[in-house]
Structure 1
Amino acid sequence: MKKNFDLKKIINTYLKHWKWFVLSGIMFIALAFFKLRYTAPEYNAYAKIMLVDDNGVSNPAEEVLQDLGKIPNKDSKKVEDEIEVLKSRKIMEGVVKRLGLNKAFFAQGRIHNTEYFPIYKAPLKISFLESDTLVNSSSLDFSLNVISETEFDIIYLVDQQEINKKGYFGKNVSSPIGEILITPNANNLTSLINQIFYFRLRPVNSVAEAYRNSVEIKQASEFSMVLNLSLNDRVVEKAKAVLDTLVDEYNLTSIEEKSAKSNNTAEFINKRINLIASDLGEVDDEIEQFKTGNKLTDISSEASLYLQSNAQTEQSLAVARTEYSKINFMKNQLDVDSFERIPGNIGLANGSLNTIASKYNELLDNRNRLLKSSNEKNPIIVNLDQQLIALKSSLQNGLNNSAETVALQIKSLENQSSKLNSKIYAVPGQVRKSRDIEREQGIKESLYLYLLQKREEATISLISTSPNAKIVDSAHSTYLAVSPNPTITYFTFFILGLGVPFGIVYLRDLLDNKIHNKEDLQREFNNISILGEIPKLNRGDRGLIKKNDRSILSESFRIIRTNADYIRKGRNVKDYDNVIFVTSTINGEGKSFCSMNTALTIANTGKKVLLVGADIRNPQIFPAIKDVTKNKNQKNGLTEFLVDSSITTNQVINSYKINEIEIDVLLSGKVPPNPAELLMSDRIKELFDIVSNEYDYVIVDTAPAMLVTDTLLISQYAGHTMYLTRADYTEKEVLNFAKEIHADNKLNGMMLVVNDVKQSNFGYGAKYGYYGAPEKKGFFKKFKKA
C-alpha cells in the first residue's frame, strides 16, 4: 500500500517536541553569546591593484626571442596565472620573512591577549643566537613573567614536560632550539612587573602556507585587469602590512624576472654578435680570395669588356681570314704556266703586291698588244716574257710571305677569341658565386646591425624595467570587526540549536520500529478493525474508571465499547456472541488493565458483566482489585474450578463494587503447574456455556498469544477477540504474529486496540480534546483578561 505524504503530520511530529526545540535554541544562543564574548575579533584589510599589460610596451628581451622564434607571442596576460603567482609560496615566504610573521609576541589580557605588531614595538626584544636557517624552520612557545627590572621567569615545554627557568635581562637563556637573548625594549620596566607575556615561533613555510590560504584575490570583473586583495586578521595593521608587502614582493619578483630576462638576452646578444662578427670576417676573406684568385674587381664591367674585346677579335679574325682567302685566290691564279691576267683590284692588305699585280697586268697587256702584230720570237716580246716571269715569281713569293703572315695572325686571333670566350663562359658562375657570397655577407651584416641595436635597447631596458602591478588602492581597513559577526553567529547557533533536536527526533523516527497510535496500526493492518486508542496515564491518575466518569480514559473506553458493539452486531455470531477475549502478542501490553476497564465501562451501562481472569500463569486482575476483595472469600478461582469438578460456578464467581460499579469477577486462582492441560479440559467448555447464558457480556483476560498457547487453546469459546497493542512498546515486527493468526483464523473476530497512547499522538481528537472536559489554559492564555 502506497504511503501518502502528509506534510502536516510531519510538522506535527516535530511540534510535539517544541519544548526541546526552545530549550536547545536558548542553550545554543547562550553558547553564541559566550563565543562572541571570548573569541578575539578579526578585522578586514583590502587593497586594489591593476596588472600592467606589457603588450603596448617595447620589451627588447621578448622582441629578440620572439623574432628568433624562441617564445610565442601572447596576446594578453592571463590574469588567473598572475593570481597564482601572487599566492605562490615563494612570494608569501618573502612576505613572512620581511615582516617577521613567524614570530609573534603577546601580552596577557583579561579576555583576549594583545599582540604587538610590528614585533619590534614589543616591550621585550627576543633575539636568537642560532642561525636564521634553524630559527626559520623551528617551532617554539614560551611564556615570560617579569619578576623585577632584572629578572624574569620563562616557561616552555620539552617532550610534553613543563620547564620553568629563571632568567636575567641581557643574559643568554637556553631553549629547545638554542640560546636566546631577552632584552628590555622600554626605558621603565616597573610597569611590566608581574605582567605575563607569550612568545610564539613557527616555521616560515607553515606560516606562509597559512597566509596563502587566508589571502583572497579576485578579479574586479570578468575581463578586468584589476585585482581586489583581501585579508582577515586579529591585528588590522598586520593585515594591511601583509597586503602591501605582498604587492611589493610581487613587483620586486617581476622586476627581477624581467631584469634576469634582459641580462640573459644581453648576454645572448653579445654571444651572437661575436659569433656573427667572426662569420662576417670569414665571408669578407672569402670574397677577397675569390676576387684575387679570379683577378676580378668588378665582374659586370669586366664582363662587358670581355664581350667588346671578343667582338673586336672576331672582327679582326674575319678580316684576316678574308685576306687569307684573297691571298690564296691570287696564288691559285699564279699557279698556271701561261700568262693569264690576274685580279688586281681584290684589295690585298699588302700594297706592294697590289702594285706588282698591276704592273704584271700592264706588261701582260703590252705583250698581248705586241703579239697582235708580232710573234713570241720577237726580242721585245721575249724581254716582256722575262719581265712577266720575274714579276710573277716576285708576286708569288710576296703572296707566300703574306699568306704565312696572315695565317699567324689568324691563329693568334683564334687563340685570343678562345680565351675571351672561356672568360665570357665563366662569368655567370662567377656572378652566381659572387652573389651567394655577397648575399651571405648582407644577411650577416643586417643581423649584426640588428643585434647591435637590440643590445643597446636591452641595456636601456635594464634601467627602465617596470613592475607588473600598479597600486590602485593601498591596503586600508574600516576597523570594523568582520569575524565573528554577531548576527551571523547568533543565527548560525540558533539554527544549530534547532537542528540538534530536529536531528535527534529525525533519527529516532528513522530508527523507530514501534507503533505509537492508531494511524501506525492502520498502516500495518488493512483488514482488521481498530476499536480505538487508550490514553497514557499520568502519574497519580486512576487506573480504573468510576461511575459517571468524564475523564479522557473513560471516554476512550466508551468509544471502544461503542465500536465493539457496532462490529459485533455486524458479524452475526451464533455461539458465544457475548464472550469477548482480551489478549495481546507479548506480556506488558495492558491486557488486564484493558479487560477490567472494558468490563467496568459495559457494566456502567447497566449490563450484567462477568470479568474472567483466564491468564492463570501470571494473574493480574486480583492485584488490581485486591483493595475491594478484602472481605471476600478468595480461596477458589478458575484454576480450582478446572481441577475440582465438584466446584460450581457460583462458588468461584463473586460480585464486587469497584468504584461504585457492580461487576462479577472470576479470578484466576492459584498458578497451576500444568496450565495448558487444565485449559484443555472439558470443564472450560462447561464454564463458558454457563456464563454466556447467564451474563450479557463476558470479558475474558487471557495470556499473551505469542508467548504461550493458552489463549489459542480456548479461542473457540470467544465470539470476539480484542487484540491489544501498546504504544511505544509493541514492535512492528512482532505484529507479524497477529497478521499470521488472523490469516489462519486462529482467533475469532479480531479487533485491535492501541493502549498507552500519548495524548499528543492520538490519531483523531488530540488537537481538540474531549467534549465536556475542562479546558486547559496555555501559558499565554493565563495572562489574558477575562
Structure 2
Amino acid sequence: MNTDLSNMGNSTNSNTFNLKKSLAIYLKKWHWFALSCVLAFGVFYMLLRYTTPLYSAFAKIMLISETDKASPTAALQDLAPMANNANAEVEDEILVMTSRGVVENVVKALNLNVQYFTQGRILEQELYKNIPIDINFIASDSLLYTVDFNFYIDVTSAGNFEYRVYEDEAPKNVAFGQTIKTHFGSMVITPKANDAASLVGSDFRVQITPLDIATNNLRNLIQVYQSNNSSKVLNMYLEDPIPAKARDILNQLIKEYDTYTTQLKNVRAKNTANFIDSRVELIASDLVSVDDSIVRFKTGNKLTDVTSEAGQFLSSSVENEQALAGSKTQLRLLNYMDESLGSDNSFQPIPSNIGMGDPAISGLASKYNELLANRQRLLQSAGEKNVVVVELDRTLNSIKESLRQSVNSSKKSLNIQINSLENQSSRINSKIYSVPGQESKLRGIERKQGIKESLYLYLLQKREEAAINLTATAPNLKILDEASDSGSPISPNKKMLYIAALFLGLIIPFIIIYVADLLDTKIHNKEDLENELKNISVLGEIPTVKDGILKDGILLVEKNDRSILSESFRIIRTNFDFVRRGRNVTAYDNVVFVTSTVNGEGKSFFSINTALTMANTGKRVLLMGADIRNPQIHNVLNDILKVDVNAIGLTDFLADKAIATANIINTYTVNDITIDIMFSGKIPPNPAELLMSNRIKEVFDYASEQYDIVIVDTAPAMLVTDTLLISQYAGHTVYLTRAGYTDKQVLNFARELHATNKLNGMMLVVNDVNQSNFGYGARYGYYGKPQKKGFFSRKPKA
C-alpha cells in the first residue's frame, strides 16, 4: 500500500521508442492533415487550371556513315587530302544537328521569331498555323531578324481594331489594311477570315523576338541523343505547348540537317573536283615537259631505243674485233711471206696459202712453188748453169719480185684497214661505255613520265567520279520515325502533382507538429508528468471541457453531475483515498494542501471542485483560502454566494486574537452542494509574518478536528514562501500542474521539494488536459451515459 500510484505504471513508462505513442501525436491532429491536404489540393488544382500544358514530340533517324561505299563521298576517301579526315562521330553529328546554323534555318523556315497569342482573362494561348490575322512587315528580313518588339491588337469591329505597344497605354484606333509605323519600319495588318466580324472582341498579342534569341531558346529545348552507345540511331525530343508546332520543328530540323550535310558534301565534292582539275592541268604540263625531255635526250644522243642500240653496239664491237684480228693475222702472214722470199738468187719454198684472201698473191705463190719444184728436178739432172735452170731462175726472181711487190701492197692495205678498224673499235667502245649512263638518265626521265602519266590517268578517273557525285548525292540519313506527339500533356503531370499535393499536405503539418513537439518543453498529460517526476503519485488528469456550469470563467461541478469534468474529479477523489489509505499519517491526515509551481495553473479551480466533489459524498468538507497574497476563491464564488468583500477571513483571524476560528467559517450551497468555506480575508501587508504566527496552528487543529476533509488553497510554492511556512500542517499535498502551461524545467523545483520532504505527502495532478492527450489513451465519460453514434453506425429502424 505504500507503493505510489506512479510506480504501478513504471513498466509502461520506459524510455524506449513507442510507435503507437509517436503515431498518436499525429493522429490526434488528423484535422490538421485533412485541412492541409484540402489546401494543397486546392492550390495544385488552381496551378493545373492556370498552367499551360506541355506536349512532347519524338522523332527517330539513323545516320548513314560516309565510309559506306554507297556514300557519294566514298569515292573521295582515297584522295590524300580526304583520307586524313576521320569520319565524323555520332556525337559530332549531334552537335552539327543542334548547331546555331541549322537551328537558325529552322527558325527562319517556320517563322518562329514571330509569335501570336490570344489573350484570356488570366492566361494567354499561343496560336500556330490557324492565325486569324495576317501581318505584312514592310521591312527587310535582315532588319526584322534583329527586332525585339511586342504589341497588342484588340479587334473592335469588322474593319477596325485597337493597337497599342504597351499593355497599359492608351490604344490607337486603326483600320485593317492601314499602314502602322514602327521604329523598324511599317506593317500592315489584315484579317484572314472571310467574315471579319467573327474576330470582334478578340484580343491578340504579337511578339517579335530577335533571331539569335529565338535560336538560342529553341536550341535549349531540342534534345538529341543516341539510342545506345554503339548505335547510329538518334532520338529527337522536344516539348512545346502546341503539339503540331513541336512536330513541325523536329521534321524541319531533320530536313535542315539533311540539307546542310548535303550542301557540305556537295561543297566538298566541288572543291575536290576543282582541286583535281587544277592538279590535272599541272600534271598535264609536267607530263608534256617530261615528254619533251625524252625527245631532247634521244635527239641529242641520236637514240631511238637504248637497249636495242646497245645490243647493236656490242655486236658491231665483236665483228670489228674479229675483223681487226683477221687483218692483223694476214699482216703477220704477209710479213712472214716477205721474210720467206729472202734475197735474190735464194730460192726457198713459201707457203702456198700465204696470200690469205688475195688471189693474186696465192696464184703467184703457187706458180713460184711449182717452178721451184721444176728447178729442183732439173738440178738433179743438170747443173745450175743449165740454160733451162738459168731461165727458171730468171723467172723465179721475176715472180719473187712480183710477189714481194704484191705483199708490200697488201701490207699497206692491211695497215690502213687495221687503223680503220682500231678507230672504229674505239668509237664503238666509247658508245658502249656511255650506254649505262644514257640508259639511267632515260630511265629517270621515263620514270617521271610514268608517274606523271599514272597520276594523270588516276586524277582523270577521280574527276569523273567527283562530277558524278555532284549530280547523284546519296542520302545522309534515314528517317525511322517521323515526328509524332505524345497525344496527352506531359506537363503538368496531374497524377504526379496530385501525389505531390497529397505528400505536401501530409508532410507540412507533420513537420510543423514534429518541430513543435521537438521544441515543446511543456507537459501535456499524465505520461509526460510521470516521465519527469518518477516515484511521485499522479492522482489523475483534469480534462479541458466546454460544457458545464461556468462561474466567472470557472467550470464547477454539480450535484449528481455526469459530466466529464465531474468524472475526472471523482477519479482523482478515488485515487486520493487509495493513496491516503496506503500512508501512515498520524497528524492532519484529513488536511490536503493544493499548491503549484507558479500561478495560473488552476489551484483555486481544483480546490473548489475537489471540495464540491468530496462534499457530494456526504462528508463535512472545509474549503480554506490560504493564498492570502492573491486570493481567488472569493472572486470565483462571489457571483454565486454574494459574499461581502469585507467579510472576515483567515488573515483577520491571524491578525485579531479576539476572533474565534468558528467565526471565520461559513456554510454555503454551491450547485445544490453544501460546503463550508473559510475565505482568505483582507490582503495583509505582511503575509509571511502572519502565517508564522502561533494562531495558524489553531486554525488547522480546529479544522482537522471538525471536518472530514479540509481542502487548503495555498500560494504557488516557487514564487513565495507562504506554502512552505505552513506545510507542516498538511497531511497530504496536491501539487498541481497545467497541460501546455507548466514547463518541464520548472518541475525540477517540484522534484527538489519531494526529495527534501518540504511538502508532506506530495501527489501530482495535471490540469487542463486536452482529451486527445489523455495518458494511456483514456477517455473520460460516465459509464451509463448514452453514447453518440457516428453516421455510418446508425441503422434504420425496422
Aligned position for 2:114: 103
* Among 66, 76, 80, the residue aligned to 1:68: 80
Aligned-residue sequence identity (percent) comes to: 53
Distance in 2 separating the partners of 1:572 and 1:324: 180
Aligned positions of 1:396-415 closer than 5 A = none
How far apart in 2 are the matches of 1:410 and 1:680? 178
Equivalent position SS for 2:541: strand
Amino acid at match of 1:118: K
CA RMSD of aligned residues (A): 5.9
Structure 1 residues 253 and 718: CA distance shift in structure 2, 3 A:
farther
Residues 1:169 and 2:176 are matched in the alignment = yes
Pick one of 446, 449, 459 that aligns with 1:451: 459
Query: 2:105 maps to what in 1?
Result: 94
Matched residues in 1 for 2:137 and 2:408: separation? 124
Question: For the Cα contact (< 8 Å) 2:559–2:673, is it kept in 1?
Answer: yes
Cα 1:417–1:610 change in 2 (3 A) is: farther
Q: How does 1:63-462 map to 2 (within 5 A)?
A: 63-65=75-77, 67-68=79-80, 70=82, 78=90, 82=93, 85-105=96-116, 117-118=128-129, 122-148=131-157, 150-157=159-166, 161-175=168-182, 178-186=185-193, 189-193=196-200, 195-212=202-219, 235=242, 237-281=244-288, 283-284=290-291, 297-302=304-309, 304-305=311-312, 435=443, 438-462=446-470
Once the two structures are superposed, residues 612-648 of structure 1 have per-residue CA deviations (whole angstroms, 9 ceiling, x without a partner) of: 4443333223322334553579644444455556666
**1:189-233 CA distance string (max 9 Å, x none):** 455555544434334444445555555667778876666656665
Contact 1:243/1:475 (<8 A) preserved: yes
Q: Secondary structure at the match of 1:457?
A: helix
Deviation at 1:314, TM superposition (A): 7.3
1:591 paired residue number: 603
What whole-Å deviation, never above 9, does each CA across 1:48-72 have from its counterpart, x for those lacking one?
5554455434335355256526567
In structure 1, what residue type is equivalent to 2:163? I
Residues 551, 773 of structure 1: 8 Å contact kept: no
Q: Is the 2:527–2:776 contact (alpha carbons within 8 Å) kept by the matching residues of 1? A: no
Partner of 2:772: 760
Residue 670 (structure 1) aligns with: 682
Match of 1:622 among 592, 614, 634: 634
Letter in 2 for 1:164: P
Instruction: Give distance in 2, aligned partners of 1:415 and 1:575.
Output: 173
| Change in 2 beyond 3 A, CA 1:270/1:344 | same
CA contact (8 A) 1:326 1:346 kept: no
Amino acid of the residue matched to residue 153 of structure 2?
L
Q: Could you report, residue by residue, the CA deviation over 1:405-457 in whole angstroms, capped at 9, with x for unpaired residues?
A: 99999999999888877876776666666555544544443333333222222
Give me the whole-angstrom Cα distance separating, in 2, the residues matched to 1:741 and 1:269: 111
Contact 1:330 1:342 in 2 (8 A): no
**Separation in 2, partners of 1:667, 1:330:** 196
Matched residue SS, 1:764: helix
Give the alignment's TM-score, normalised by structure 1.
Answer: 0.75
1:494 Cα offset (Å): 5.6
Which amino acid in 2 is paired with 1:455?
R
How many residues in Structure 1 have an aligned counterpart in Structure 2? 779
Q: Distance in 2 between matches of 1:677 and 1:402?
A: 189
Gaps of 5+ in 2: 1-12, 371-401
Distance 1:146 1:737, change over 3 A: same
What SS does structure 2 have at the residue aligned with 1:445?
A: helix
Verify the 8 A CA contact 1:59 1:461 in the aligned structure 2.
Answer: no
> SS at 2:165's partner residue?
strand
Question: Cα deviation per residue 1:709-760 (whole Å; 9 max; x = unaligned)?
Answer: 5555666666655443332333445555556666777666654433222112
Contact map agreement 2:72 2:473 (CA 8 A) in 1:
no
Rate the CA distance shift 1:150–1:279 in 2: closer, same or farther, 3 A. Answer: same
Structure 2: distance between partners of 1:690 and 1:346: 201
CA distance in 1, matches of 2:494, 2:49: 10
Cα–Cα, structure 1 residues 415 and 689, in superposed 2: closer, same or farther, change >3 Å? Answer: farther
User: Which secondary structure does the structure 2 equivalent of 1:249 belong to?
Assistant: helix
SS at match of 1:537: coil
Query: Partners in 2 of 1:572 and 1:253 — Cα distance?
Result: 106
The whole-number CA distance in structure 2 between the counterparts of 1:134 and 1:645 is 111
| Residue number among 727, 737, 742 corresponding to 1:730 in the alignment | 742
1:464 aligned partner? 472
Kept in 1, the 8 Å contact 2:549–2:557? The answer is: no
1:270–1:629 CA distance, 2 compared to 1 (3 A)? same
Report the Cα offset of residue 535 of structure 1. 1.0
Q: Structure 1 residues 778, 56: closer, same or farther in 2, change over 3 A?
A: same
- 1:366 corresponds to which residue? none
For 1:60 and 1:196, locate their aligned partners in 2 and report how far apart those are by CA, in whole Å: 53
- Whether 1:780 and 2:772 are equivalent positions in the alignment is no
- How much has 1:162 moved relative to structure 2? 1.0
- Match of 1:753, SS state, is strand
Query: Are the counterparts in 2 of residues 66 and 72 from structure 1 also a CA contact under 8 Å?
Result: no
What SS is found at the alignment partner of 1:56?
Answer: coil
Deviation, structure 1 residue 778: 2.2
Aligned-pair distance for 1:164? 1.7
Q: Which runs of 5+ in 1 are unaligned?
A: 363-393
Q: How far apart, CA to CA, are the structure 2 residues paired with 1:752 and 1:342?
A: 183
Secondary structure at 1:616 match in 2? coil
Per-residue displacement from partner, 1:557-589 (whole Å, max 9, x unpaired)? 344444455556667677766655444444322
Paired AA for residue 80 in structure 2: L
Shift in CA distance, 477/604, structure 1 to aligned 2, threshold 3 Å: same
Output the CA distance in 2 between the equivalents of 1:176 and 1:553: 82
Conservation of the 8 A alpha-carbon contact between 1:99 and 1:118: no
